[in-house]
Amino acid sequence: MIELIFATNNLHKLEEVQAIVGDRVIIKSLNDIDCHNDIPETGKTFRENAQQKTDYLVNKYNLNCFADDSGLEIDALNGEPGVYSARYSGSRDMERNIDLVIERMMNNENRTARFKTVISLHIDDNQFFFEGIIEGTIINHRRGSKGFGYDPIFIPDGYDKSFAEMSAEEKNLISHRSIAVSKMAEYLKNI
């Protein structure tokens, strides 16, 4: 049995990841280790931010852990919101963030975008990175009530539903996070 601290208190992410890695890995949140600090995310890339979070946890708690940094990259917006996805509008209010994307995309014909996740895994004094990308398009209005973040305005390639219209099981089969987590889970099987 492997125990890992996931550098998050986001229950959606925690449930998503636990469903993918299965019972062999016990995943605990920051809350479970009584970490209530705002962990810095000042990197210019998803990888830098993910590593910054695991470095923080290793230095402060000396525990096996992993962190992810994820975001939406929109081609017509030169990769924005990117690493600023969670606070694109200047706040962490996702409704405002989505509104800003819709506003900035209003007259753009190029709707291509991708969700990207990079996971930094720190285990037994070793660091590993796993990446997941799902390509898709941005739509002009919200569709669906499931999921979180930008899910209501993102339709993955090959589908006619937004992430927010998919069940958790459907989304977990194809999402950027599930791709990265599946790569990490495959690595953990061999430990």
d(CA 17, CA 22): 8
- Told to judge if 69 belongs to the known catalytic residues of this protein, a careful annotator would answer yes
Cβ contact 36:95 at 8 Å: no
What is the chain's alpha carbon radius of gyration, rounded to the nearest angstrom? 16
Residue in 69, 93, 99, 151 annotated catalytic:
69
Which residues, listed in sequence order, are joined to residue 123 by a DSSP beta bridge? 126
d(CA 118, CA 159): 23
Catalytic positions, please? 69
